[in-house]
Amino acid sequence: MKTILLTGFEPFGGSYINPSIEACKPLDGRKYNGCRVKVVEIPLRFDEVRPSLVKAIRETKPSAVICTGQAASSTIRLERVAINVADARIAYNCGKQPMDEPIVKDGPVAYFLTLPLRKMLAAIEEGKVPVKISNSAGTFGCNHIFYDLMHYIEENDLGIPGGFIHVPSLPEQAMKKQGPSMSLNLIVKALEAAVRVLSEELP
């Protein structure tokens, strides 16, 4: 059976929860069109992001990969491009705070996702979940794992679809800051729609 690898990050920035991994968990083990979903939590520590992702890919041998992370947004954001820059506004959980550093030395400037972007967008919209295509995944952990994912796929000639989805904060995280948020149920619904579309597109 084919596997779709779905990753989310551990909590960071003083929060006790990260909606990216929490929204992935309910999909772990589910089957869509002959594909089984495997969920893996990634540590948000600068030197552990790539090894953890690579380990998950080698162990699961996925037919496609979707990485997820949290953003201060009111919508699901389907990220189009990852850039080869690590420039952290806050420190990673390990305390490291890179500035203007390449993620991969001498690596390409950027990578585009290879997921069925427009079909995912349409499916999530059909489910009445706010969503948009974004052209910047930032320069923190989310862009970091997105770039590492696409570079690993390219470097090892895996030929599998890959990409990144940003999810909003949860209401309980946004209360004190009075920032944008989305319920966990809606985030799960969006990720499930994206996974379902991806499973239908795999050969």
Residue 176 confidence (pLDDT): 73
pTM to 2 decimals?
0.96
Residue 177 confidence (pLDDT): 78
Mean pLDDT, residues 162-189: 93
pLDDT tens for each residue of 80-136 = 999 999 999 899 988 889 999 999 999 999 999 999 999 999 999 999 999 999 999
Which residue of the set 22, 151, 166, 192 is catalytic? 166
Which residue of the set 24, 35, 67, 142 is catalytic? 142
Mean pLDDT of the chain: 96
Which residue of the set 79, 144, 151, 192 is catalytic? 79
C-alpha to C-alpha distance for 12 and 70, rounded to whole angstroms: 10
Q: In the annotation, is 142 catalytic?
A: yes
Q: In the annotation, is 79 catalytic?
A: yes
Residue 198 pLDDT more than 90? Answer: yes
Residue 92 confidence (pLDDT): 93
Percent pLDDT > 70 in the chain is 100
Pick from 82, 195, 190, 97: nearest CA to 144: 82
pLDDT tens for each residue of 5-29 = 999 999 998 888 999 999 999 999 9
Percent pLDDT > 90 in the chain is 91
Q: Please write down the HEC assignment for all residues of the chain.
A: CEEEEEEEECCCCCCCCCHHHHHHHHHCCCEECCEEEEEEEECCCCCCHHHHHHHHHHHHCCCEEEEEEEECCCCEEEECEEECCECCCCCCCCCCCCCCECCCCCCCCEEECCCCHHHHHHHHHHCCCCEEEECCCCCCHHHHHHHHHHHHHHHCCCCCCEEEEEEECCHHHHCCCCCCCCCHHHHHHHHHHHHHHHHHHCC
Residue 31 pLDDT more than 80? Answer: yes
Question: In this predicted structure, which of 9-13, 145-149, 167-171 has the lowest mean pLDDT?
Answer: 9-13
C-alpha to C-alpha distance for 69 and 19, rounded to whole angstroms: 8
Mean pLDDT, residues 53-63: 98
Residue 178 pLDDT more than 90? Answer: no
Residue 130 confidence (pLDDT): 98
Domain CATH for 98: 3.40.630.20
Residue 181 pLDDT more than 80? Answer: yes
The total domain count for the chain is 1
Residue 93 confidence (pLDDT): 87
C-alpha to C-alpha distance for 133 and 163, rounded to whole angstroms: 12
Its domain, for residue 140, covers 2-201
CB distance 167 to 103 below 8 Å: no
